A and B are shown apart, each in its own frame.
Chain A
Amino acid sequence: GDSVTQMEGPVTLSEEAFLTINCTYTATGYPSLFWYVQYPGEGLQLLLKATKADDKGSNKGFEATYRKETTSFHLEKGSVQVSDSAVYFCALSGNNAGNMLTFGGGTRLMVKP
């Protein structure tokens, strides 16, 4: 079945540092790929998405490129802020009737001033 693997956290960075959170996936066919962010005490919010190979999703300074050859969708940001501290989830949506998202385990990011 489909699966998503992302780097375990926590990831601790200083403000303005470069961020990379790795995500790789296993799926049949051509899934859509997503990054969700969960701030403390809140539900998940869609951060960005990509629906086909070589697509780049971007939002709020975050970027991720759909790499079919390496089955990866790594999240990057050039300069993190304290307000980016949250848990980040990589997810895929395959060809299933329930629009089910398959999630990675989540990576907690802590940004220190």
Chain B
Amino acid sequence: EAQVTQNPRYLITVTGKKLTVTCSQNMNHEYMSWYRQDPGLGLRQIYYSMNVEVTDKGDVPEGYKVSRKEKRNFPLILESPSPNQTSLYFCASSFQVGETYEQYFGPGTRLTVT
């Protein structure tokens, strides 16, 4: 089954304690990205990757890091989490269909930073 998986699904942590949220896709997509969802703001892109070892900033990259060492994996790293990073995070992978790219989203990771 084609899917994007994220772990963990729920995480409560304290300010400053480094954490990693994993993302994996089994569709051999080149493009992957991370979004955060906040009430009333929709989803905003944090980082994206166009292929292995190629990453770039999205709309709201401050406080986040990513890496793309393998095509299927795209972890999101918070080196020193702060309460304003409390949010719902989605990983997505995408492929080209005609003139557009269609994105598959993971189930989400709800992060609370106290």
Contact = CB atoms under 8 A, between A and B. Distances in A.
| Pair from one complex | yes
A98 interface: yes
Interface residues of B, number: 27
B99 to A, nearest CB: 5
B44 A51 contact: no
B100 A101 contact: no
Contacts of B33: 98-100
Interface stretch (B13-21, B68-76, B77-85, B102-110): B102-110
B102 A44 contact: no
A42 interface: yes
Interface residues of A, number: 24
B41 interface: yes
Given A43-B106, A93-B101, A103-B42, 18 more contacts: A8-B40, A32-B100, A41-B107, A42-B108, A43-B108, A44-B90, A45-B105, A49-B102, A51-B99, A89-B42, A91-B43, A97-B56, A98-B45, A98-B58, A99-B48, A99-B94, A101-B103, A105-B42
Interface of A: 4, 8, 32, 36, 41-46, 49, 51, 89, 91, 93, 97-101, 103-106
B56 A98 contact: yes
Contact of B43 (A32, A46, A89, A97): A89
B52 interface: no
A45 B106 CA distance: 9
Contacts of B103: 46, 99, 101
Given A97-B56, A99-B94, A46 B42 contact: no
14 contacts: A32-B100, A41-B107, A43-B90, A44-B90, A46-B103, A89-B43, A98-B31, A98-B33, A99-B48, A99-B101, A99-B103, A100-B33, A100-B45, A101-B103
Interface of B: 4, 31, 33, 35, 40-45, 48, 50, 56, 58-59, 90, 94, 98-103, 105-108
B78 to A, nearest CB: 20
B36 to A, nearest CB: 11
A42 B108 CA distance: 7
Nearest to A98: B48
